[in-house]
Structure 1
């Protein structure tokens, strides 16, 4: 198996040299505490080591589909492999774990593109799309919107205009299971070992798209029920290689998408740009004079629903009362919390740069 086609980069190879007598693999699926890991010699079953289990401080640190891991063997001839380390993720799509307070669930790791799939029938929901985009931008991957089931929609142009109003700076594609015109364009994102994750509600056609890209029926498919709720055909995350190109990750449908971290400066760039021209820097866009955001709503350039969605996500991500610069600072402080915040992190980086010059 060509590991480069599996997404292995020089950066992961370099990091792997820290661990002697171990081999690189990539997690392709997980079922409870058992993992499937792809190595240069094929797929094998693995579990995490006792030491790893003891050292984990947060569930999001456990191996997830898409992770590159260091294992004690590279084939299954001598039994189950043992995962000792997870290599540093270059990107990670997460959501708030269902039923858990302040706990992250890793949906997919080390992805280059997030295909956000939404059907053009009654599943169509701009507010949900805004949530997906906010998390996708925050993941470190590039979001792409894929609108499915165009054959079931009679207002495609109107829907596209609505999507364009919230998917700012994002590529948008229209697909249907009755034609291959749409999905063919997605292949350009899967060259040279690139990894794409398919995200969306149940029944929107993620598995159908993957089957089209594979050129064969590998994933079970099912439509949306009469009550417009999708059937869960994908029950777990799974990484699949597309021969000669890249990797796709199929994910179970998510009817709820709890957010703990999001990049609102990109997903709501229009509101951010308008806010910069408000009279007051700390404008709440409610009753202040000369509010550019409220003026845009009055002039029909911005919907009140989009502003309300923005406020809701700010509250959910605990960024309430902060402007865009303050939000970025808050995210950096959270990122470097173990180092004592962004000030200590900057100090650490400066010291490291001085050592390199010596």
Structure 2
């Protein structure tokens, strides 16, 4: 696939010149650019110019919960293989983070490279202002 077709296919997902520049070293290795759209149990779904594929995150899974692959990350994926592997992820522009429920003071990354956040609550029940405040604080603390 040509770089222009990759660009036009991934642009709706946020691909731009800056991401293309950051991906350049991985392009020379023959890896595919893609955006993570789902993560579960060490596997992720990645949208690429060729479509959505399933990839294993074993090579990029650190012990730090703030550095695991998450929804919104731009990654470098192997072009083939069973299973396919994510080989690297690009530096994040933003991160949507919450504190964990553990006794340690560490965060848990919920999403990466988010440009906008919308707080929506049901109008079918009485408005819980405390809940809305927690959602807004989460977005604010995540530096969105």
1:23 aligns with 2:32: yes
1:335-354 to 2 correspondence within 5 Å? none
Instruction: Give 3-state SS (helix, strand or coil) of 2:25's partner.
Output: coil
1:85 aligns with 2:91: no
Write 1 or 2 for the structure with the bigger share of strand: 2
Do the aligned residues in 1 keep the contact of 2:77 with 2:84 (CA within 8 Å)?
Answer: yes
1:8 aligns with 2:15: yes
Do the aligned residues in 2 keep the contact of 1:91 with 1:111 (CA within 8 Å)?
Answer: yes
User: Which of the pair has the greater relative contact order for Cα pairs under 8 Å at 6+ separation?
Assistant: 2
The aligned residue for residue 3 of structure 2 is none
Instruction: Give 3-state SS (helix, strand or coil) of 1:62's partner.
Output: coil
Q: 1:123 to 1:24 in 2, by over 3 A?
A: farther
1:195-234 to 2 correspondence within 5 Å? none
The aligned residue for residue 50 of structure 2 is 41
Structure 1 residue 118 displacement after superposition: 1.1
Do the aligned residues in 2 keep the contact of 1:92 with 1:106 (CA within 8 Å)?
Answer: yes
Write 1 or 2 for the structure with the bigger share of helix: 1
- Distance, in Å, in 1 between the alignment partners of 2:91 and 2:67 is 10
RMSD over aligned CA atoms reads: 2.0
1:236-275 to 2 correspondence within 5 Å? none
Q: 1:82 to 1:123 in 2, by over 3 A?
A: farther
- Distance, in Å, in 2 between the alignment partners of 1:100 and 1:114 is 28
Do the aligned residues in 2 keep the contact of 1:69 with 1:84 (CA within 8 Å)?
Answer: yes
Q: Runs (4+) of structure 1 moved beyond 6 Å?
A: none
Instruction: Give 3-state SS (helix, strand or coil) of 1:70's partner.
Output: strand
1:64 aligns with 2:67: no
Instruction: Give 3-state SS (helix, strand or coil) of 1:60's partner.
Output: coil
Task: Choose 1 or 2 for highest CA Rg.
Answer: 1
What are the superposed Cα offsets for residues 32-71 of structure 1, whole Å, 9 maximum, x if unpaired?
Answer: 1111111000011101244x33xx2411201001111111
- TM-score under structure 2 length normalisation: 0.82
What are the superposed Cα offsets for residues 97-146 of structure 1, whole Å, 9 maximum, x if unpaired?
Answer: 234532322111111111111122435211221221122123343xxxxx
Q: 1:10 to 1:139 in 2, by over 3 A?
A: farther
- Distance, in Å, in 2 between the alignment partners of 1:108 and 1:123 is 29
- Distance, in Å, in 2 between the alignment partners of 1:48 and 1:116 is 30
- Distance, in Å, in 2 between the alignment partners of 1:104 and 1:137 is 14
Residues paired across the two proteins, number = 135
- TM-score under structure 1 length normalisation: 0.35
